[in-house]
Amino acid sequence: MRVQQNADRRPDEAQLVIAAGGALLVGVLYYALPEGLSLGPRWLLLVLVLVLLLPPLVVVVGMRTVLPFRVARGLALVLMGVLAAAQVGSLALLVTHLPRFTRGGQLLGPAGVLWGINVLVFAVWYWEIDGGGPVKRQLKQHEAADFLFPQQLRDNKTHWAPGFVDYLHLAFCFATALSPADVVPLTHRAKLLMMAEALISLLIVVLLVARSVNILS
């Protein structure tokens, strides 16, 4: 019975690996930022992400079991906080150092990297907050909680499960079109997160356009 309960509480291994890859990519992109646009050493975020991701990956994929829910959830929340702090900090540094960019190409690279980080960070946030995380979504047979995907209409009788790519698509659409496409946010926290993502995306684009126009004029 205990083995069966652990099996029911284990997240999808493939989706866990994909989501971990998305978080690691944030660290890689952060390392690609120019000096002066990162909080501390550029490699630090990648190391922190690795440290926070290793326990669940080793336990779930390697040992075929699960971490205690509070431990796993705590690691996920710390990871989301670290990613958000790095993102907001670098955006603030970009705004502060904006006068230093004297050519459009100098600004285009960092702005593009921060925009990509914005998409990935919020994809991780959506993945982790929807319904209390992947484990709770699985236990509740993937009922719509914070986000309603089209496949979950009509009571989701097939128990379709949104994967990390679905949340990545949602984050990408909202960062580009400032619209959630075919996904409906259902809760206040989901709506506030999407508003924050749109604000950051819009700020990056406005900074890029405004500074480029100023350089050319």
In tens, the pLDDT along 37-92 reads 888 899 999 999 999 999 988 888 878 787 888 888 899 999 999 999 999 999 89
Q: Could you give phi then psi for residue 185, rounded to 5 degrees?
A: -75, 135
- The whole-chain average pLDDT of the chain stands at 84
Q: 2 pLDDT band (50/70/90 cuts)? A: very low
Q: For the purposes of burial, counting CB atoms within 10 Å of the CB of 1, is it exposed (0-12), middle (13-18) or buried (19 or more)? A: exposed
Total tally of structural domains belonging to the chain = 1
CA angle in degrees (0–180, nearest 5) for 87-47-200: 10
- Which token pair is 51? 């440290």
Residue 166, CA distances (Å) to 18, 71, 181 in order: 11, 26, 11
Q: 1 pLDDT band (50/70/90 cuts)? A: very low
CA-only gyration radius of the chain, Å: 19
Rounded percentage of the chain residues whose pLDDT exceeds 90:
40
Is there a contact between 167 and 126 (Cβ–Cβ < 8 Å)? yes
- Please give the average per-residue pLDDT across 116-124, as a whole number: 95
- The domain of 169 spans 2-216
Query: Does 215 have pLDDT greater than 80?
Result: no
Q: Identify the pLDDT of residue 10.
A: 58
Give the pTM: 0.86
Alpha-carbon span 72 to 133, nearest angstrom: 10
Q: What is the pLDDT of residues 136-184, one digit of tens each?
A: 887 777 777 899 888 887 766 677 888 899 999 999 998 988 877 789 9
Q: For the chain, where are the alpha helices, taking DSSP H only? A: 2-9, 13-31, 42-57, 69-96, 104-129, 134-139, 164-177, 188-216
- Please give the average per-residue pLDDT across 18-40, as a whole number: 91
Report which of residues 106 and 20 the model is more confident about. 20
Residue 217, CA distances (Å) to 59, 74, 208 in order: 57, 50, 14
